[in-house]
């Protein structure tokens, strides 16, 4: 059964590209005559592919496919179609009237809801009459877009092509964007609006880019700046403000449904989730390229091992709700895990690809060409994700130190590399294996016992104990008292690879280690141990078996006869993998959190599992060579090491190759690294709520989404439906989970992925203009909207890719366009035809978002605390009532809570009612587009809420302080702070009376409630 399924899968896989090509050809070359030399049979097949298959695919196969199988009829494959359904054969080749298929179709009984048009019927009738010749088999029902679903030819799945810039007649054209917009407008007889006034522009730009009002001084200066590039300079200044990241980071947090509590029954607070929020803000401020921004969020911990930023970034994976209450029942548990995977695959699909991949959990996607198996390939790619906390050095300072260490090490490598190559070339003059991978192998420490006990690379020299001695160019160990211990290592060891070439005296011994890394004096250790648990088998020893599981490798048969090379790799995600003679030994497994071995307190042992010597901990045999790498070697590197043991070059050999100056530099750099390492280990630790990877296991397609019904195995992979990127990750179904996520990250961010750039370009457009070119920013599939300006979208996407995914450049091009700079006011003779402004004949006014309302009030009142980052503030009282965490909204003031709203702690059960009334989204669900509603509750909140009234009073006090007692001065100041403009004469007159009667605070309250404040023109 499985074999059959596999064959079919291979068939389908083989057919897909062909079908796609056929579809594309049929589309591109419609009407072209075919090769005159083709035989009748191939002509018939071509006719089938071109006319009949699309019809069957779009009108019949939705129900009559191998999965749905209605009436036990499958029309997608030749054999099945000819066999027929529960009522017998449905096609009588050559005789439509005898064909059930035709009878049903002719009688309008099939398809049931919407019968075929006459022309379509005729295609079917003629095809049967002509002998019902089949073409490409089976038909790929996803090949064609129909009126019911999208196929591979769907617009958003096609490669991005940079369009030719159109010629526009309009005068109001500054750049490419405006040309695309103007042409569409002209087609509809619409005219763009004039450029908005300076004061309007600076208010618009500042709110848009920073989420804050411009300061009165900035408004003044800009209004008075006559230079032609005043606007461009303003844009640059705003883009480089640190508030930019706070503003745009908030939008990103909406999309990834970032919340700081678990949700569900316990709704436990996550006090250490904020580093992810800070990472997002910093990344946007630093203009981290979007592909890198995304790759790190999917697999930063794997792609940048040792870099705390990478580990913080994968907080993306666990930003959503998580039910911490697990039932005892296994069935329910499995369902819950599948629910979690659906959530994360759903967010990945919508955020980065604009596709609702998660709709294919129980069946093939109903509207988009996404197979169920594709969904499960994606679940396999993220199968190791899990919620938790990791301890790490305080992110920012550690990253700075890491960057310095990395730079010093790079320079050391640059010094050493030519020397190493020369040495290797001399050693293996006849060596044709290619030394590329070998040259890169730079162990932290290495020992060749033919040459003695000293570390060939660093200073971890060995010292023999008991009977241990070098005999016959190897370290002889008697299994009773002999072992070697090294001097302490000079740096922290996290990820690592242990390697030893070892011979055993006998295969019956149990418990000795070839090489071990341990805390000096005992305690934690990781070691290559022989047969401590399973007779004759190698294992990864650890204290109390903390990280030990069987590899289930083959029983050792050779090590008593010849040296074997054993290597064990400890990856950052906790995966432990063994290799024997360069080949994988048994199965890798997840050993729990990686053990860190601190500098100065860690040593290596040869022949002893861990201190003290004695018991079954000693090895009887010989160790020939050994090495420690401070990273996880790849399978290829280990294989290379096994092929050529001479790949390791001692530091003495290298130093001998260097000039005196180079040697001095080399020493200085090494001293620098050592000093930095010491500094780094002293940084205090910070717990971070993030993805704590677990072993991925092997994913299966789940029949109808039921975890009790396993279908075919699904190795990690991408969506086969995307053009231009290979969905095959080349991974085994049980590949280490970190590799799966890093491949996924690379696949998603591939510059040829057509959706990746389009979706983000559209998101930015959506936020700047209030409506995306595609009005459904999370859905570029069949159920989503079609682009209003497809060429413009492709132009933006192409430029985005070409510019190396630089986000700020994309922002700059959007807000610099004439389209963006248009006035928003509607003239009396304005067109009624496009009241929604889909064709951009003006700038749509936009209501301030909830956070911006709050921030702007704080800013106007002079109460905003501009401190960035760190743990969020609480505007609620968090308390545990019985077992559940509750959040009671509080009205609190003071500098801490008067930070920007993005720094609020976004507990899922602890929403802020004031912000809620202003459409602040529920952090439980991804929000690509905020709604803008107007309700009496909102009006009540704006009018009566304690925060608003307090801000009105603070603002009044500020104005009294800054503008003195003169009513006119006061009015001007209030208007400048709240509305970014001076009051008009008639306003002064009326408002002066009002203030006299009711006080300044009353006026401030009114202005903070006014439409002019709440809307940006």
Interface positions, 916-945, toward other proteins (CB under 8 A): 916-919, 922, 924-928, 931-941, 943-945
Least spacing, CB of residue 980 vs other proteins, in Å: 14
Least spacing, CB of residue 988 vs other proteins, in Å: 12
Least spacing, CB of residue 271 vs other proteins, in Å: 18
Least spacing, CB of residue 193 vs other proteins, in Å: 12
254 versus 526: smaller Cβ distance to other proteins? 254
Least spacing, CB of residue 564 vs other proteins, in Å: 47
241 versus 783: smaller Cβ distance to other proteins? 783
For residue 627, count other CB atoms closer than 10 A to its CB: 27
Where in 846-875 is the site for other proteins (CB under 8 A)? 847
611 versus 927: smaller Cβ distance to other proteins? 927
Q: Which residue, chain included where needed, has tokens 């979706």?
A: 759
At residue 587, the 3 state secondary structure works out as: strand
Distance of alpha carbon 344 from alpha carbon 611, whole angstroms: 45
In whole angstroms, what separates CA 131 from the centre of its chain? 52
82 versus 1002: smaller Cβ distance to other proteins? 1002
Distance of alpha carbon 344 from alpha carbon 337, whole angstroms: 11
Q: Is 908 in the site for other proteins (CB under 8 A)?
A: yes
Least spacing, CB of residue 290 vs other proteins, in Å: 21
User: Among 392, 389, 435, 382, which Cα is nearest to 304's?
Assistant: 392
Instruction: Return the residue of 386, 752, 825, 865 that touches other proteins, per CB under 8 A.
Output: 825
Q: Is 836 in the site for other proteins (CB under 8 A)?
A: no
118 versus 836: smaller Cβ distance to other proteins? 836
For residue 996, count other CB atoms closer than 10 A to its CB: 10
Distance of alpha carbon 605 from alpha carbon 524, whole angstroms: 13
Least spacing, CB of residue 666 vs other proteins, in Å: 56
User: Among 863, 825, 810, which Cα is nearest to 212's?
Assistant: 863
Instruction: Return the residue of 306, 437, 781, 872 that touches other proteins, per CB under 8 A.
Output: 781
Instruction: Return the residue of 24, 92, 176, 949 that touches other proteins, per CB under 8 A.
Output: 949
Least spacing, CB of residue 327 vs other proteins, in Å: 5
Least spacing, CB of residue 212 vs other proteins, in Å: 22
Q: Is 31 in the site for other proteins (CB under 8 A)?
A: no
137 versus 953: smaller Cβ distance to other proteins? 953
With vertex at residue 764, the alpha carbon angle to CA 219 and CA 791, rounded to the nearest 5 degrees, is 120
User: Among 352, 504, 321, which Cα is nearest to 906's?
Assistant: 321
With vertex at residue 371, the alpha carbon angle to CA 367 and CA 372, rounded to the nearest 5 degrees, is 110
Where in 262-291 is the site for other proteins (CB under 8 A)? 263-267
> Which of 214-222, 497-505, 652-660, 913-921 is the region at the interface with other proteins (rule: CB under 8 A)?
913-921
Residues paired with 541 in a beta bridge: 527
Per-residue binding string, other proteins, 343-382, x by CB under 8 A, is x------x----xx--x-----------------------
At residue 890, the 3 state secondary structure works out as: coil
> Would you state the structure tokens that stand for residue 668, as one six-digit string?
């200085």
> Which of 49-57, 409-417, 560-568, 777-785 is the region at the interface with other proteins (rule: CB under 8 A)?
777-785
User: Among 312, 676, 743, which Cα is nearest to 492's?
Assistant: 676
Where in 873-892 is the site for other proteins (CB under 8 A)? 881-884, 886-887, 891
Q: Is 1009 in the site for other proteins (CB under 8 A)?
A: yes
Contact partners, residue 264, CB within 8 Å, separation at least 6: 321, 322, 323, 324, 325
Identify whether the C-beta of residue 399 lies closer than 8 Å to the C-beta of residue 279. no
Q: Is 957 in the site for other proteins (CB under 8 A)?
A: no
| φ and ψ at residue 189, rounded to 5 degrees | 70, 25
Identify whether the C-beta of residue 809 lies closer than 8 Å to the C-beta of residue 803. yes
228 versus 329: smaller Cβ distance to other proteins? 329
Identify whether the C-beta of residue 200 lies closer than 8 Å to the C-beta of residue 981. no
E strands of 458-574, at which residues? 462-465, 469-471, 474-478, 483-486, 496-504, 513-519, 525-530, 538-542, 564-570
Least spacing, CB of residue 158 vs other proteins, in Å: 19
Q: Is 784 in the site for other proteins (CB under 8 A)?
A: yes
Distance of alpha carbon 606 from alpha carbon 617, whole angstroms: 11
90 versus 255: smaller Cβ distance to other proteins? 255
Residues paired with 88 in a beta bridge: 85
108 versus 996: smaller Cβ distance to other proteins? 996
How many residues touch other proteins under the rule CB under 8 A: the total is 95
Q: Is 783 in the site for other proteins (CB under 8 A)?
A: yes
- Per-position DSSP letters for 140-167, written without gaps between them: -TTSS--SS---TT-GGGSPP-PPPPPP
962 versus 1012: smaller Cβ distance to other proteins? 1012
**Angle between helical axes of 946-963 and 1000-1009 (0-180°, round to 10):** 120
Contact partners, residue 854, CB within 8 Å, separation at least 6: 901, 914, 915, 947
> Would you state the structure tokens that stand for residue 175, as one six-digit string?
């750049």
Q: How far is CA 323 from CA 263, 266, 268, 318, 907, in A?
A: 7, 8, 10, 12, 14
Distance of alpha carbon 275 from alpha carbon 690, whole angstroms: 9
Where in 692-731 is the site for other proteins (CB under 8 A)? none
Q: Is 215 in the site for other proteins (CB under 8 A)?
A: no
Least spacing, CB of residue 386 vs other proteins, in Å: 18
Least spacing, CB of residue 323 vs other proteins, in Å: 7
178-186: long-range contacts, CB 8 A cutoff, minimum separation 24? 178/817, 178/818, 178/819, 180/789, 180/791, 180/792, 180/795, 181/789, 181/792, 181/817, 181/819, 181/839, 181/840, 184/788, 184/789, 184/839, 184/840, 185/839, 185/840, 185/841
Q: Which residue, chain included where needed, has tokens 């009294």?
A: 960
Least spacing, CB of residue 369 vs other proteins, in Å: 14
Q: Is 1015 in the site for other proteins (CB under 8 A)?
A: yes
User: Among 705, 634, 735, which Cα is nearest to 383's?
Assistant: 735
244 versus 251: smaller Cβ distance to other proteins? 251
Where in 978-1007 is the site for other proteins (CB under 8 A)? 984, 986-987, 990-991, 994, 997-999, 1002-1003, 1005-1007
76 versus 837: smaller Cβ distance to other proteins? 837
Where in 627-656 is the site for other proteins (CB under 8 A)? none
Burial label for 284, CB within 10 Å (0-12, 13-18, 19+), is: buried
Identify whether the C-beta of residue 568 lies closer than 8 Å to the C-beta of residue 540. yes
564 versus 941: smaller Cβ distance to other proteins? 941
250 versus 847: smaller Cβ distance to other proteins? 847
545 versus 1015: smaller Cβ distance to other proteins? 1015
Where in 225-264 is the site for other proteins (CB under 8 A)? 257, 263-264
Identify whether the C-beta of residue 851 lies closer than 8 Å to the C-beta of residue 901. yes
254 versus 416: smaller Cβ distance to other proteins? 254
Q: Is 171 in the site for other proteins (CB under 8 A)?
A: no
Where in 301-340 is the site for other proteins (CB under 8 A)? 321, 323, 325, 327-332, 339
368 versus 416: smaller Cβ distance to other proteins? 368
Distance of alpha carbon 503 from alpha carbon 55, whole angstroms: 69
Q: Is 52 in the site for other proteins (CB under 8 A)?
A: no
Least spacing, CB of residue 235 vs other proteins, in Å: 25
Burial 807-818 (b: 16+ CB within 10 A, else e): bbbbbbbbbbbb
154 versus 914: smaller Cβ distance to other proteins? 914
Least spacing, CB of residue 843 vs other proteins, in Å: 12
Least spacing, CB of residue 930 vs other proteins, in Å: 10
Least spacing, CB of residue 874 vs other proteins, in Å: 15
């Amino acid at each position: 059964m499985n074999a059959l399924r596999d064959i079919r899968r291979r068939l389908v896989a083989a057919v897909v590209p062909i079908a796609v090509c056929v579809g594309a050809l049929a589309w591109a070359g419609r009407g072209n005559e075919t090769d005159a030399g083709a035989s009748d049979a191939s002509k018939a097949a071509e006719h089938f592919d071109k006319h009949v298959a699309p019809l069957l695919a779009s009108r019949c196969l939705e129900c009559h496919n191998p999965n749905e199988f209605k009436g036990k009829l499958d029309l997608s494959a030749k054999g099945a179609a000819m066999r027929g359904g529960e009522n017998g054969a449905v096609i009588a080749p050559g005789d439509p009237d005898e064909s059930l298929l035709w009878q049903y179709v002719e009688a309008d009984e099939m398809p049931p809801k919407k019968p075929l048009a006459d022309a379509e019927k005729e295609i079917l009738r003629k095809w049967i009459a002509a002998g019902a010749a089949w073409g490409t088999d089976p038909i790929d029902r996803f090949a064609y877009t129909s009126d019911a679903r999208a196929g591979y030819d769907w617009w958003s799945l096609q490669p991005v092509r940079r369009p030719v810039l159109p010629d526009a007649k309009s005068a109001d054209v500054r750049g490419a964007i405006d040309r695309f917009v103007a042409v569409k407008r002209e087609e509809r007889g619409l005219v763009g609006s004039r450029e908005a006034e300076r004061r309007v522009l600076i208010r618009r730009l500042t709110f848009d880019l920073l989420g804050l009002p411009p300061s009165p001084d900035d408004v003044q200066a800009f209004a008075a700046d006559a230079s032609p590039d005043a606007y461009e300079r303003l844009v640059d200044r705003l883009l480089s403000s640190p508030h930019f990241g706070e503003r745009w980071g908030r939008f990103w947090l909406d999309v990834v449904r970032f919340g700081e509590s678990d949700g569900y029954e316990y709704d436990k607070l996550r006090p250490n989730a904020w580093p992810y929020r800070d990472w997002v803000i910093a990344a946007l401020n630093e203009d981290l390229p979007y592909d890198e921004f995304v790759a790190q969020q999917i697999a930063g911990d794997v792609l940048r091992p040792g870099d705390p930023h990478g580990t913080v970034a994968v907080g993306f994976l666990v930003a959503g709700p998580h039910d911490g209450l697990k039932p005892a029942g296994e069935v329910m548990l499995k369902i819950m895990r599948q629910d979690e995977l659906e959530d994360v695959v759903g967010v990945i699909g919508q955020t980065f690809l604009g596709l609702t991949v998660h709709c294919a959990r129980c069946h093939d996607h109903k509207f988009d060409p996404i197979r169920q198996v594709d969904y499960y390939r994606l679940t396999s790619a993220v199968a190791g994700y899990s919620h938790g906390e990791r301890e790490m050095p305080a992110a920012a300072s550690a990253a700075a130190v890491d960057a310095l260490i990395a730079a010093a090490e790079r320079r050391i490598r640059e010094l050493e590399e030519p020397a190493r190559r020369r040495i290797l070339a001399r050693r293996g003059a006849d060596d044709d294996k290619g030394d590329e991978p070998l040259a890169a192998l730079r162990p932290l420490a290495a020992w060749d016992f033919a040459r003695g006990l000293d570390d060939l690379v660093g200073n971890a020299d060995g010292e023999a104990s008991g009977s241990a001695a070098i005999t016959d160019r190897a370290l002889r160990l008697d299994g009773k008292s002999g072992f070697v211990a090294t001097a302490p290592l000079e740096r922290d060891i996290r990820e690592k690879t242990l390697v030893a070439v070892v011979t055993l005296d006998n295969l019956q011994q149990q418990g000795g280690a070839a090489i071990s890394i341990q805390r000096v004096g005992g305690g934690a250790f990781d070691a290559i141990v022989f047969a401590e648990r399973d007779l004759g088998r190698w294992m990864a020893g650890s204290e109390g078996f903390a990280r030990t599981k069987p590899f289930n490798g083959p029983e050792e048969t050779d090590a008593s006869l010849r040296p074997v090379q054993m290597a064990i790799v400890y990856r950052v995600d906790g995966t432990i993998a063994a290799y024997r003679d360069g080949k994988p030994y048994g199965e890798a497994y997840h050993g729990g959190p990686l053990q860190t071995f601190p500098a100065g307190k860690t040593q290596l042992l040869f022949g002893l599992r861990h201190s003290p010597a004695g018991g079954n901990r000693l090895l009887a045999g010989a160790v020939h060579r050994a090495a420690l790498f401070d990273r996880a070697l790849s399978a290829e590197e280990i294989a290379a090491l096994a092929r050529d043991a001479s790949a390791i070059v001692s530091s003495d050999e290298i130093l001998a190759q260097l000039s005196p100056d180079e040697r001095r530099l080399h020493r200085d750099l090494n001293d620098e690294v050592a000093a930095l390492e010491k500094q780094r280990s002293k940084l205090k630790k910070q717990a971070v709520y993030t993805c704590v990877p677990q072993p991925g296991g092997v994913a299966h397609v789940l029949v109808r989404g039921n975890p009790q019904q396993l279908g075919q195995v699904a190795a990690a992979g991408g969506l086969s439906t995307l053009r231009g990127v290979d969905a095959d990750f080349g991974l085994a179904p049980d590949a280490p989970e970190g590799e799966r996520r890093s491949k996924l990250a690379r696949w998603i961010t591939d510059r040829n992925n057509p959706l990746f750039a389009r979706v983000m370009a559209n998101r930015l457009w959506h936020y700047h203009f209030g409506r995306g070119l595609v009005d459904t920013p999370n859905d570029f599939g069949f159920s989503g909207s079609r682009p209003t300006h497809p060429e413009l979208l492709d132009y933006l996407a192409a430029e985005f890719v070409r510019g190396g995914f630089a986000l700020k450049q994309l922002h700059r091009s959007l807000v610099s366009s004439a389209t963006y700079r248009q006035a928003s006011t509607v003239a009396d003779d304005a067109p009624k035809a496009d009241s929604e402004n889909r064709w951009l004949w003006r700038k749509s006014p936009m209501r301030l978002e909830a956070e911006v309302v709050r921030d702007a009030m704080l800013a106007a009142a002079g109460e905003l605390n501009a401190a960035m980052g760190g743990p969020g503030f609480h505007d609620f009282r968090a308390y545990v009532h019985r077992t559940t965490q509750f959040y009671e909204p509080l009205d609190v003031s003071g500098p801490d809570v008067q930070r920007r709203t993005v720094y609020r702690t976004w507990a899922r059960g602890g929403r802020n009612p004031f912000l809620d009334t202003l459409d602040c989204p529920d952090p439980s669900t991804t929000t690509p587009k905020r709604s803008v509603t107007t309700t009496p509750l909102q009006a009540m909140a704006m009018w009566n809420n304690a925060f608003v009234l307090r801000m009105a009073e603070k603002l009044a006090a500020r104005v009294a302080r800054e503008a003195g007692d003169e009513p006119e001065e006061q009015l001007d100041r209030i208007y400048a702070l709240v509305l970014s403009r001076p009051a008009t004469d008639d306003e002064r007159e009326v408002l002066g009376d009002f203030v006299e009667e009711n006080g300044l605070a009353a006026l401030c309250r009114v202005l903070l409630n006014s439409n002019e404040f709440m809307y940006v023109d």
